[in-house]
Chains A and B, each alone.
Chain A
Amino acid sequence: MFGLVDLDFSPARLLSGLNQLGWITLLMIPPDPGSSLPAYLVALGETLSIALLGTTIAAVLALPVSLLAARNIVPSNLFRFPVRRFLDSIRGVDTLIWALVWINVVGLGPFAGVLAIAVSDFGAFGKLFSEAIEAADQEAGRGHPRVRRQRAA
């Protein structure tokens, strides 16, 4: 309750805002690109290639690191711990923040976008891949169902 008051929550403003939202929706109809359709298509292609390139770079870079973070590849807790914390700290920063950082480093443009997605996904992929590797190893240990049944008996 205190939070609502603190954040200026007011039903009146919400109602008038809804009115505004309705107006905007009406203004949106019909969707019309005007004369800049080619520019939009180029921009869409740019966005798609940012996503594709960023994800691919992240996956390629994360694969070796994820091996280092997997329990069954690197049994030593001492070596695995820093790798995992490193991935955590990369993952802890959102893609948007990385984008702002990279824009300041390499300047405005798609290149900064590719770097931002590559870096933030690198952290996520590192974790996901290492978990996949650990899970796969456990499954392989189980072996054939018949053998498992014999063992259980």
Chain B
Amino acid sequence: MPQVLPVIAGQVLYFIESNTRSATIIGIVGAGGIGLQLAEQIRVLEWQKVSFLILMILVAVAAIDWISEQSSALRSSGGARSPELRQVSSRPRNSTRSAAKRERFVTSGVPSASTSVLSTTRTGRPSARSSRAASVASTMAAVIRVEDPPVVADAVMRRAVLSSSVRAGEHLSGVGKALGAKARWC
């Protein structure tokens, strides 16, 4: 289950983004929302309003895309995507410098700038600069891996549910408007 949850959370986040677009479309056939406004303004040839609505939709989709990117970054920084990775991170924390390096690599997913700084000097001894970088890297790794991926994803989802239900309450008044629109549409 802990393996599956990050995958599922990622899919759900992508679907929320894609559903924002399809919610616009189904608004046109009468399910309320911005699609209804868009269809109305196209019908009365108010092109300036149409372009404004299109821009609004673009901004909203971009915002949701950004949010899901942020939360997926949170998820992947927790590491442990596959069992192999989890094996690496379950050994004693940063027992060696290379372990710290590897940990940083595993948790962030990409070799960061500090990875190259961490390498030893030509004589084989770590320079003062690289050992300082090593301690920074291990601290970073420790901080990053505090966040357990399923917990974070869960929290994100719960917040999303909460805020959407609040907003749904706010916009119940929209139903009345849609009923008015029905008269126009029929």
Contacts and interface: CB of A to CB of B under 8 A. Distances in A.
Interface of A: 24, 27-34, 36, 39-40, 42-56, 58-59, 63, 95-96, 99-100, 102-103, 107-114, 116-117, 121, 124-125, 128-129, 132-133, 135-136, 139-140, 142-145
A49 B171 contact: yes
Is the contact region of chain A dominated by helix, strand, or loop, or is it mixed? helix
Contact of B19 (A30, A107, A121, A136): A121
B53 interface: yes
B63 to A, nearest CB: 9
A63 B167 CA distance: 25
Q: What 9 pairs between A and B have smallest CB-CB spacing?
A: A113-B31, A47-B33, A52-B164, A28-B51, A99-B26, A51-B19, A31-B52, A27-B47, A110-B32
B83 interface: yes
A145 B84 contact: yes
Contact of B87 (A51, A113, A125, A145): A145
Nearest to B166: A49
- Which among A39, A40, A43, A140 has the greatest number of chain B C-beta atoms within 10 A? A43
A46 B52 contact: no
Nearest to B174: A46
Interface residues of B, number: 61
Given A56-B164, A108-B179, A132-B8, A103 B29 contact: yes
Interface in B28-86: 29-37, 46-57, 60, 64, 82-84
B155 interface: no
Interface in B149-173: 157, 160-161, 163-165, 167-168, 170-171, 173
B23 interface: yes
A43 B51 contact: no
Contact of B174 (A36, A43, A140): A43
